[in-house]
Amino acid sequence: MDTNILFIFILSIFVGIEVISKVPSMLHTPLMSGTNAIHGIILFGGILVLADATTTLAQALGFVAVVFGSANVFGGFMVTDRMLQMFKKKK
Amino acid sequence: MSSTTSLILIGVAVLFILGIKFLSSPKTARQGNLVAAAGMLVGLIILCNRDGSNVWSHGWSFNYTLIVIATIIGLIIGAIGAYSVKMTAMPQMVALFNGLGGGAAALVASLEFIKNAHPVEIAGIALPVTHETSAAFTIPMLFATLIGSLSFSGSIIAYLKLEGKFEKPMTFPGQNILNGLIGLVIIGLAGWLTFNATGGNAITAFIVMAGLALFFGVAMVMPIGGADMPVVISLLNSFTGLAVAADGFAINNTAMIVAGTLVGSSGTLLTLLMCKAMNRPVSNVLFGAFGSSGSAQAGAAGVVGTVKPIQADEVALLLAYAQRVVVVPGYGMAVAQAQHSVRELTEELGKRGVEVQFAIHPVAGRMPGHMNVLLAEANVPYDQLIEMEQINPSMDRVDVCLVIGANDVVNPAAREDKSSPIYGMPIIDADHCKTCIVMKRSMAAGFAGIENHLFYKDNTRMLFGDAKASLNGLVAAVKAS
């Protein structure tokens, strides 16, 4: 395995902790929802395995994976946006 | 992968990091979400196969038609869910989306694993293994399958619990031991598979392992009470992130590793922050079976005093001639859809020169920050929302404290009663104000199933009835006085 990838992995752990360390509790729900949308990137994985699928079983399971991933990523970003638009400045 | 693609990929990673960064400040939160979404779109366009060629540059085949159809179906499901869900049901929606992500992560890993585990044999003659079966590939696949399956089934149970299905903890003797044994079998199978990743036996073992992981997700969440579901969802959210990162390792996709790991680590910190707000260690949440019937009775023992009801007219007078009023909103307010009536009441009081503030407990609602979303929806001005730590020191200078549908977060048992299951949890000191009005439908216990000592205090009055109807009555009475 490429050790550069491990390097990226370790750095990402610390970046993830660092960027949210000062989040006020009122933003916990939108933040959870927003990060939930970001792991919808699994859609990429679904697309890659479905593109390579050779058997009907693989196509069926890959299809389900893409539906799931797509719902996760699109629904996640949309629901977060809906939540956050309520925080806009009033008056 | 061309160097241009690599450079764009760095930009995508930066967009994800900035997105999360912006999400953690109220002023930039909405842009943060859009920045992350933009990163996702760019990542999708430059998506590369394992061999480094762009996935969209291959000739069109039936599989691509399937990809487009599946993506559109997911988009429609996601959009309907996102735009039809009520703000009070937001935690369930997050749980559901998280479960779908976990399921997808498990499916992707399973497909990769089974494809590579296929017995390489033609007419009884074993062929040399030419595909990837090294531990560096197998371990991330197994990890993503296990964690993804667990996150999928666990999130579904969390969703059902928040919807009110079997929200009481389900426990039986030896539960933790049984769960531990299942965990050991799973780890054993995973260990065996790491070194025996090909052939028919491997596929059988793999399916058994994935099935056990699904069951483990159910068994892990079932004993946890509904009140602790936010912590569980946050934890499963970070689990899904890690499963996605592991998938990224196995199919060699850097964007997935970065995004998944960011979610995994920030989600873990968020889980710990939530537990800190409830003053409970995370192990207690996961294995403590909170809110079982035994502890509820223990909490009732220390109650002294009587419940004193009050009429709406009297409350209106108290409010209209007060100098400072603090509203403590709880999930009950949101369930009664009373946010707008609350805002009307506070505006009416504001016109009369009464200083009105909202005291927000970190875990008010069903998730930390949930109450802010609900009040923002009702156009309550942002600067009236005061966090618990800021408002508590001045609670003894408050004339009237209006507790609307909140229960456990104002229970003084958390300070006074060592035997109470919520002892030590930080609370809003509603009992310190001059008069405390509790609006409540009935005398039923709160979500944690504990008797509330506040209701029996000398300076507490109970205004029974539906929160929305009571508030509308108060608005009219304040206007008239």
Q: Which domain holds residue A51?
A: 25-87
- Does the pLDDT value for residue B297 go beyond 70? no
Residues in chain A, how many?
Answer: 91
Interface of A with B in 3-42 (CB under 8 A): 5, 8-9, 12-17, 19-42
3 state SS of B329: strand
Most confident of A59-73, B122-136, B192-206, B314-328: A59-73
By mean pLDDT, which of B9-18, B131-140, B261-270, B309-318 is the weakest?
A: B131-140
What pLDDT is recorded for position B447? 59
Within 8 A of A87 by CB-CB distance, chain B residues are 26, 29-30, 372-373, 376, 382
Asked if the Cβ–Cβ distance from A66 to B71 is below 8 Å, we say: yes
Confidence of residue B327 (pLDDT cuts 50, 70, 90): very high
Structure tokens at B117: 């585990």
Structure tokens at B104: 């997808």
For residue B125, what is the enclosing H or E element? strand B125-126
CA angle B156, B161, B163 (to 5 degrees): 95
Asked if the Cβ–Cβ distance from B81 to A79 is below 8 Å, we say: yes
| Averaged pLDDT, A7-19 | 92
Q: Provide the residue ranges of all domains of chain B, joining segments of one domain with +.
A: 88-287, 305-480
What pLDDT is recorded for position B217? 93
Q: How far is A44 from chain B (nearest CA, A)?
A: 7
For residue B343, what is the enclosing H or E element? helix B339-351
Q: Are B225 and B205 in contact (CB under 8 A)?
A: no
Confidence of residue B299 (pLDDT cuts 50, 70, 90): very low
> Which chain B residue has the Cα nearest residue A47?
B67
> Which chain B residue has the Cα nearest residue A48?
B49
Confidence of residue B124 (pLDDT cuts 50, 70, 90): low
**Closest to B50 measured CA to CA, from B337, B253, B338, B198:** B253
With tokens 């946890």, the residue in question is B224
The minimal CB distance from B369 to the residues A22, A29, A65 is found for: A29
**What percentage of residues in chain B have a pLDDT greater than 90?**
32
For residue B359, what is the enclosing H or E element? strand B355-360
pTM assigned to the model:
0.82
CA angle B38, B269, B332 (to 5 degrees): 90
Structure tokens at B318: 């108290």
**Catalytic: which of B228, B247, B408, B429?**
B408
By mean pLDDT, which of A81-85, B120-124, B415-419 is the weakest?
A: B120-124
Structure tokens at B130: 């030419």
Task: List Cα–Cα distances, B9 to A43, B5, B52, B256, in angstroms.
Answer: 16, 6, 13, 11
Interface with A, mutate which of B31, B261, B374 (most A CBs under 10 A): B261
What pLDDT is recorded for position B292? 42
Name which residue leads in pLDDT, B372 or B93.
Answer: B93
> Which chain B residue has the Cα nearest residue A34?
B33
Q: Are B107 and A61 in contact (CB under 8 A)?
A: yes
Segment B62-101, tens digit of pLDDT: 899 999 999 999 999 999 999 998 888 888 899 999 999 9
**Closest to A77 measured CA to CA, from B16, B337, B408:** B16
What pLDDT is recorded for position B468? 86
Confidence of residue B161 (pLDDT cuts 50, 70, 90): confident
Identify residue B4 by its one-letter amino acid code. T
Q: What are phi and psi of B78, to 5 degrees?
A: -60, -45
- State which CATH number among 3.40.50.1220, 2.40.30.10, 3.20.20.450, 3.30.450.80 fits the domain covering B305-480: 3.40.50.1220
What pLDDT is recorded for position B291? 42
Q: Indicate if B399 belongs to the active site.
A: no
- Does the pLDDT value for residue B396 go beyond 70? yes
Q: How far is A75 from chain B (nearest CA, A)?
A: 4
Residue A5: inside a domain: no
| Averaged pLDDT, A44-56 | 91
Strands B324-329 and B355-360: parallel
Structural domains of chain A, count:
1
Per-residue buried b or exposed e for A2-41, using 16+ beta carbons within 10 Å of the residue's own CB: eeebeebbeebbebbeebbeebebbbbbbbbbbbbbbbbb
What pLDDT is recorded for position A9? 92
Residue A75: inside a domain: yes
Q: How far is A7 from chain B (nearest CA, A)?
A: 11
